[in-house]
Amino acid sequence: MRIIAIANQKGGVGKTTTAVNLAASLAAAEHRTLLLDLDPQGNATSALGVEHQAAPAAYDLLMGGAKVVDVARPTVAPGLDLVPAGDRLIGAEVELALCSHREARLREALGTGTDVYAFVLIDCPPSLGLLTVNALAAAHSVLIPLQCEYYALEGLARIMEAITLCRARLNPDLQVEGIVLTMYDMRLNICEQVEQEVRRHFPRSVLRTVIPRNVRLSEAPSFGKPVLLYDGRSSGAESYLRLAKEIIDGAT
């Protein structure tokens, strides 16, 4: 079982899109997968057709009121289970601040009941607060979605600093699963320039698979489906299947 946190403190980089569609693609490759929606916005939850008010949910897992088996539920994608965000996750960071071992609550919660899964993916909030810190402390590795835009490297430096701090204080075995370039538009020079810069600065970390800007990827969440079920022949679906294969190959 491998736990992968999908994190970037910058919003709008395709983080939740990557979490949902990578999880569905891993499941489609016959690797049973659990997606944990740790973002209070709950976008991964709604993208899989589950109500925001769903309970028990991620809050109960964090606060010790429930186990993985209590909160995980099947989704429309065969082989993919979801721990929904739930409404109460909004106040979790304030409550966690008052808890003992506040950075390790998720690691303890995922210590039992996850052995039935090949992969556990955690969709982190777009911040470096206690929820993301809990995910980094619990994970074996971090996958960093990076939009091909002007400020990409600046945001990347911050998440790399957070990973370094987490290794020093909480999780010495934490690895970088990879950097995945998202929202790539071949018509824009800036995308090619950003790709070249990121690959030059992080030659061993940037994954081969690049996620294109794709209308089907944008439409799928409104139907409560991953793109693989919405339009399996789209470039978005095919790119996430390739990404899943790259992750699987890297785990073996």
* Residues 11 and 145 sit within 8 Å (Cβ to Cβ): no
Task: Give every CB contact of residue 190 below 8 A, 6+ residues apart in sequence.
Answer: 148, 149, 150
- At 234, the pLDDT band (50, 70, 90 cuts) reads very high
Least trusted range by pLDDT, from 109-123, 150-164, 201-215:
150-164
- Looking at the predicted structure, is the pLDDT value of residue 224 above 90? yes
How does DSSP assign 43-89, residue by residue? HHHHHTT--TT-SS-HHHHHTTS--HHHH-EE-SSTTEEEE---GGG
Task: Report the pLDDT value the prediction gives residue 163, as an integer from 0 to 100.
Answer: 95
Count of helix runs (H) and strand runs (E) in the chain: 12, 8
- At 99, the pLDDT band (50, 70, 90 cuts) reads confident
Tokens in use for 99?
Answer: 């808890």
Q: What's the rounded Cα separation, in Å, for the pair 72 and 37?
A: 11
User: What are the structural domains of the chain?
Assistant: 2-247 (3.40.50.300)
Q: What's the rounded Cα separation, in Å, for the pair 65 and 220?
A: 33
Q: Could you report the per-residue pLDDT of 12-39, keeping only the tens digit for each?
A: 899 999 999 999 999 999 999 999 999 9
The reported pTM is: 0.95
Task: Report the pLDDT value the prediction gives residue 31, as an integer from 0 to 100.
Answer: 98
Task: Report the pLDDT value the prediction gives residue 252, as an integer from 0 to 100.
Answer: 62
Q: Could you report the per-residue pLDDT of 63-95, keeping only the tens digit for each?
A: 888 999 999 999 999 999 999 998 889 888 888
Tokens in use for 174?
Answer: 């934490």
Average pLDDT across the chain, whole number: 92
- Looking at the predicted structure, is the pLDDT value of residue 4 above 80? yes
- Looking at the predicted structure, is the pLDDT value of residue 250 above 90? no
Beta bridge partners, 184, equal: 212
